[in-house]
Structure formats: C-alpha cells, structure tokens
C-alpha cells in the first residue's frame, strides 16, 4: 500500500472541494486509479471516525480532546456567568425590596408613635387630675393599654431595625447598679401585683454596653420571669466572672425542657403555661433578646429544667468609668415629691401641635410653667424677653429651623444657662452621642413620663448646683 504505484496527480487530482463534479474524459485506467485512491481516503476517514471520541494515548487525540474540553469549558463558563449575572440581579432586587420594607416600617412606626405619644401624655396628665374613683380606674386602664400598644409597636420596630442593621449600639461604660436599681424598683411592683417577691442583689461593678439595649434584654428576662411564674420569687442579681459580669434573672416557675432551649429564642414561640388573661405578648421578646445580645456580642445563657425554675443570664464585659462620668447627673436619685419641679420654666418646641398640648398638660401637672411652640420663630415671638430653665426640643423639626440641635444652639446663644433635652423618634445612636457631647439630655419617643421627670429633675438639680 506504499504510495509507490500511484502516478503523479497532475491529470485528475482528487479535488475534495468539488467532489460532486465528475472528472472529464478520464480513461478507464485513470478512473480505476482514482477509485483506488478514494477507497483509501475512505478507509483512512473511517479509521479516524471510529477511533475518535476515545480518550486514547495518541498525541493527536490528546490535542483533539483538549480542544473539545476547552470548548465545553468555554460554553459552561458562559452559562455560569449568565446565571451569576441573573443571580446578582435577583439579589439586588431582593435587597432593594428589603430596604424599602424597612423604610416603610420605619415610616409607619414613626407616624404611629407620634399620636401614641400624644395619647400617653394626655392620659398621664388626666391621671394627675382629681377624678371620681371609677373614672380614675378607667384612665388607668387606658394608660396601661396604650403602654402595651407602645411596647408591642416598639418591639416590632426594633426587630425590623435589628434585621436591617440600622440600629447601631451606643456603647459606653456605666455602673451596673445604675441600670439595675431602676429595673428592680419597676419590676418589684409588677411582681408584687402577681403575689411574687423580687429579690434584688445590687452590684457596684462597672460594665461596658449600650445601656438602653442591655436594659431591654433584662426587662425581657424580668417580664418573662413574672409572666411564667405562678408562685415563689424572682431573683435579679449579678455574678462576677473573670470574663465579665453575668447579669442573672432567675425564677421559681415551671422551667423549660432542654429540648426547647433553642426554640424559645425564635420569633412567635410561646411556651404553654401562662393563664394570665392580661398577657398580650406576641412571643417576640426572646427573639429580640437574641438579636440584641448577638449585636452587642454578649453571650446569653439559659439554665433550666422542667419543674425547677429557669435562670436567664447575659454576660457583659467590664468597663472603666472616666472620671467625668463618675459623678454623672444620671445617677441623681429620683424623688417622689413633685415640689422640685414646681415653678420650673420649660419651653417646648415640637412641630406636632398634639405633642405640644400633651406636653403642656403633663408638665403643668408637675407644677412647671410651660410655653410650647411648633417652631423656633413662634417660640421667640411668644416668649419675648422671658427666660426659661429647660428647653425640650424635638429633633425633627420643620425644614426652616434645621434639626433640634441647631435650634438648641441658637437659643443657647441668647440664653447660655438654658438646659436642653432633645427628643427624637430616631433610634440612631449618633443623635444620642451628639446630644451627650453637647451636654444635652436625650429622650426617645414615645416619651415616658417617668423618664422625662427624672431627666428634668436631674437637670434642675445640676443647674441649682451650678449656680450655687
């Protein structure tokens, strides 16, 4: 089969490009010869076709295989890139939807909090009035219902904020007692109402955390302890651990089976056992606790077995008080008598007329002399040359005045001794931090009358000392 017998191809070459055209005027010998060559071409092609596709060891097959592989890889890479692009777009849409949901929730809750705030202030003011006993009881019920609505709303807002990552912690050192004393006082009465005793062990340790968020965690522990304990006692205390202060809330309730220890930290999980008709929780409490603790980096612990009570704790790192904050105004003890605020001149600026009225009613009931206005210009117009000791200013004012801090700064130019409390519905830690830096108080909406009162008392006392 060596190509020795083939003649030169000048006459009629196998032109495979024009295979369809028959050679012209070929002799029989030429045709036979061409036929033989075509057979051999055919045989070679068949051999090739039949050996193709085998991942053989032949060098050309290796090359061919690599080429086909590269082609497949290229195609798959293209498909993959397209899929990735689609996923990326879908993720973008989902994120946008989430952001808009969070914004919507924040907007709705803000709008709801405003009238609720006003209603709470009115109710508090009404409670101060001398009313017939049945009416007084009704007012009390309204007040508690409003408080429930407020706390539920707050909880929902907080969960959405935590999920969206907009609630940034404002971490500072403080005395554990500063927070726990107030909580113990508050919950001792709630426990007593249910026939339980609250045993509180004070601690002098200094810890570092976000006071408001940590208080929220412990409030949740306390609320749960009271809710689920039918008889016995509640314990609030601290253990000094090497890695931090463990704040513990224990109870003598029914306990939590081990199998449910994780589930109770999820939303809308309630354990059976509460027959309290007053109980209107949504089962969101521990879900929030879990998120807050995660955000603050405070480990949570639950010790409980069925029938043996439960003990929830949170581990908070130790802190170091700066000398300035050691004697902070915040530690000023609240006083039961209303005399100290009597005669205090208070200016209120809030662009919501309802809030202004509510504030006026509440502050007047404490004996304050109140002047309210919906803008700086109106306040200046009505106040004339008068002065005041305290300014309560809403952070979010109409566009003409800038924010509450700017308004406060302008008023203090003319009234250097004016104490300022900024009130905001915005949970942004930056506003609180800026207020604190300027020496202003800062309260979150909805304003709780007790807090407002404590804030005012501490300001009046400090100012008194300052003047003396």
Partner 1 sequence: MLDSLAAVRGCPSRAIEGASLCTAVSRQRDPWAAADELAAALHHETLGFVLFFCSAEYPLPALSAALNAAFPEVPVAGCTTAGEITPQGYGRGCIVAIGLDRRDFAVSCALVEDLEGFDLLRAQHLVDGLLAECRDRAVAPLAEHSFALTLLDGLSSSEEQVLATLDAALGRIPSFGGSAGDDNRLAHTHVHAEGRFHGQAAVVVMINTLLPFEVFTTHHLRPRAEKLVVTRADRARRRVLELNALPAAEEYARLVGVPLAALDATAFARHPLAVRLGEAHYVRSIQGVNDDGSLSFYCAVENGIVLTAMQPAPLLEDLEAVFTGLTERLGEPTLIIGCDCFLRRLELEVLGQVDTASRLLAHSRVIGFNTYGEQHHGMHINQTFTGVAIGSRPR
User: Among 60, 278, 381, 387, which residue sits at the site for partner 1 (rule: CB under 8 A)?
Assistant: 60
Verify cis geometry, omega within 30 degrees of 0, for the bond prior to 20: no
Q: Which of residues 68-127 bind partner 1 (CB under 8 A)?
A: 68-71, 73
Torsion angle, CA of 215/218/223/224, rounded to 10 degrees?
150
At closest approach, how far in Å is the CB of 90 from partner 1? 23
Residue with Cβ nearer partner 1 (40 or 136): 40
Residue span binding partner 1 (CB under 8 A) among the ranges 56-64, 393-401, 425-433, 459-467: 56-64
**Toward partner 1, which CB reaches closer, 24 or 57?**
57
Measured from the CB atom, the residue of 38 and 342 that comes closer to partner 1 is 38
Comparing CB distances to partner 1, the nearer of 66 and 98 is 66
- Identify which of residues 33 and 158 has a Cβ nearer to partner 1 in the complex: 33
**Phi/psi at 147 (nearest 5 deg)?**
-65, -40
- Asked whether position 57 contacts partner 1 by CB under 8 A, the answer is yes
CA atoms of 162 and 288, how far apart (whole Å):
8
| Residue closer to partner 1, measured from CB, 32 or 193 | 32
For the purposes of burial, counting CB atoms within 10 Å of the CB of 19, is it exposed (0-12), middle (13-18) or buried (19 or more)? exposed
* Nearest distance in Å: CB 48, partner 1: 2
Give the shortest CB-24-to-partner 1 separation in angstroms: 18
C-beta closer to partner 1: residue 83 or 98 = 83
Element (H, E) at 360: helix 353-365
Report the DSSP beta bridge partners of residue 391.
347, 420
Window of 15-23, 146-154, 181-189, 317-325 that interacts with partner 1 by CB under 8 A = 15-23
Within residues 16-55, the interface with partner 1 by CB under 8 A covers: 16-17, 36-38, 40-41, 43-49, 51
Does the CA dihedral 183-348-153-295 come out positive or negative? negative
Shortest distance, position 87 Cβ to partner 1, whole Å: 18
Q: How far is the CB of 54 from partner 1 (least distance, A)?
A: 12
Among candidates 444, 432, 439, 431, which has minimal Cα distance to 458?
Answer: 439
CA–CA separation, 100 and 160 (whole Å) = 12
Q: Which of 32, 63, 197, 294 binds partner 1 (CB under 8 A)?
A: 63
Shortest distance, CB of residue 42 to partner 1, whole angstroms? 9
Residue partners of 224: CB distance under 8 A and separation at least 6: 285, 286, 312
Shortest spacing between CB 92 and partner 1, in angstroms: 21
Smallest gap from Cβ 28 to partner 1, in A, equals 19
The least distance separating partner 1 from the CB of residue 67, rounded to whole angstroms, comes to 5
| 69 or 96: CB nearest partner 1 | 69
| Min CB(64)–partner 1 separation in Å | 6
Given the complex with partner 1, which of 57 and 385 has the nearer CB atom?
Answer: 57
Per DSSP, the three-state class of 192 is: helix
Span near partner 1 by CB under 8 A; candidates 6-14, 210-218, 358-366, 382-390: 6-14
How many residues sit in the footprint of partner 1 (CB under 8 A)? Answer: 40
Please identify which residue in 62, 90, 131, 326 interacts with partner 1, judged by CB under 8 A.
Answer: 62
Structure tokens at 47: 């051999």
The DSSP secondary structure of 286-328, one letter per residue, reads HHHHHHHHHHHTPPEEEEE-TTS-EEEEEEE-B----HHHHT-
Q: Give me the numbers of helices (H) and strands (E) for the chain, helices first please.
A: 12, 12
Residue with smaller CB distance to partner 1, 28 or 59: 59
Nearest to partner 1 of 67, 430 (CB atom): 67
Q: How many angstroms separate the CA atoms of 335 and 341, rounded?
A: 10
In which element (H, E) is residue 369 found?
strand 369-373
8 binds partner 1 (CB under 8 A): yes
Round to whole Å and give the CA distance between 88 and 156: 30
Query: Whole-number minimum distance, CB 66 to partner 1, in Å?
Result: 5
What are the CB-based long-range contacts (under 8 Å, 24+) for 460-464? 460/340, 460/341, 460/344, 460/389, 460/390, 460/419, 461/329, 461/332, 461/340, 462/329, 462/332, 462/419, 463/389, 463/417, 463/419
CB of 114 to partner 1, least distance (A): 49
Q: Sort residue 53 into left (φ over 0), alpha (ψ -120 to 50) or beta.
A: left
Enumerate binding residues for partner 1 (CB under 8 A).
1, 3, 6, 8-10, 13-17, 36-38, 40-41, 43-49, 51, 57-71, 73
């Amino acid at each position: 089969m060596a190509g020795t017998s083939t003649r030169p191809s000048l006459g009629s070459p196998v032109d495979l490009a024009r295979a369809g055209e028959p050679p012209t005027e070929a002799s029989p010998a030429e045709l036979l010869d061409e036929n033989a060559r075509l057979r051999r071409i055919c045989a070679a092609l068949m051999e090739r076709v039949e050996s193709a596709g085998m991942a053989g060891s032949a060098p050309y097959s290796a090359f061919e295989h690599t080429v086909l592989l590269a082609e497949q890889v290229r195609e798959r890479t293209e498909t993959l890139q397209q899929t990735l692009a689609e996923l990326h777009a879908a993720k973008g849409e989902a994120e946008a939807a989430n952001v808009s949901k969070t914004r919507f929730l924040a907007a709705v809750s803000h709008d709801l909090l405003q009238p609720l705030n006003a209603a709470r202030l009115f109710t508090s003011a009404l409670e101060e009035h001398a009313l017939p006993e049945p009416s007084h009881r009704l007012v009390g019920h309204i007040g508690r219902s409003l408080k429930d609505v407020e706390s539920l709303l707050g909880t929902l807002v907080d969960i959405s904020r935590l999920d969206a990552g907009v609630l940034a912690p404002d971490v500072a050192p403080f005395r554990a007692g500063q927070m726990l004393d107030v909580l113990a006082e508050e919950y001792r009465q709630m426990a007593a109402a249910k026939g339980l005793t609250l045993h509180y062990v004070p601690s002098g340790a200094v810890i570092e955390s976000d006071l408001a968020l940590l208080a929220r965690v412990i409030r949740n522990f306390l609320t749960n302890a009271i809710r689920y304990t039918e008889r016995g006692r509640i314990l609030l205390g601290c253990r000094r651990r090497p890695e931090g202060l463990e704040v513990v809330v224990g109870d003598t309730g029914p306990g939590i089976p081990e199998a449910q220890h994780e589930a109770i930290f999820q939303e809308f999980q309630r354990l059976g056992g509460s027959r309290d008709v007053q109980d209107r929780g949504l089962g969101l409490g521990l879900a929030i606790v879990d998120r807050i603790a995660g955000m603050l980096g405070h480990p949570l612990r639950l010790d409980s077995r069925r029938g043996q009570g439960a003990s929830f704790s949170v581990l908070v790192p130790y802190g170091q008080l700066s000398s300035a904050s050691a004697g902070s105004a915040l530690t000023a003890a609240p006083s039961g008598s209303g005399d100290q605020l009597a005669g205090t001149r208070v200016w209120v600026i809030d662009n919501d007329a309802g809030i202004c009225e509510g504030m006026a009613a509440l502050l007047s009931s404490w004996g304050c002399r109140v002047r309210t206005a919906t803008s700086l210009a109106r306040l200046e117009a009505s106040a004339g040359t008068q002065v005041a000791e305290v300014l309560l200013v809403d952070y979010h004012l109409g566009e003409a005045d800038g924010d509450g801090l700017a308004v406060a700064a302008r008023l203090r130019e003319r009234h250097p001794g004016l104490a300022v409390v900024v009130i905001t519905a915005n949970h942004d830690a930056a506003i609180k931090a800026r207020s604190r830096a300027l020496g202003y108080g800062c309260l979150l909406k909805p304003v709780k009358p007790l807090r407002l009162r404590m804030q005012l008392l501490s300001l009046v006392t400090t100012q008194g000392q300052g003047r003396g």
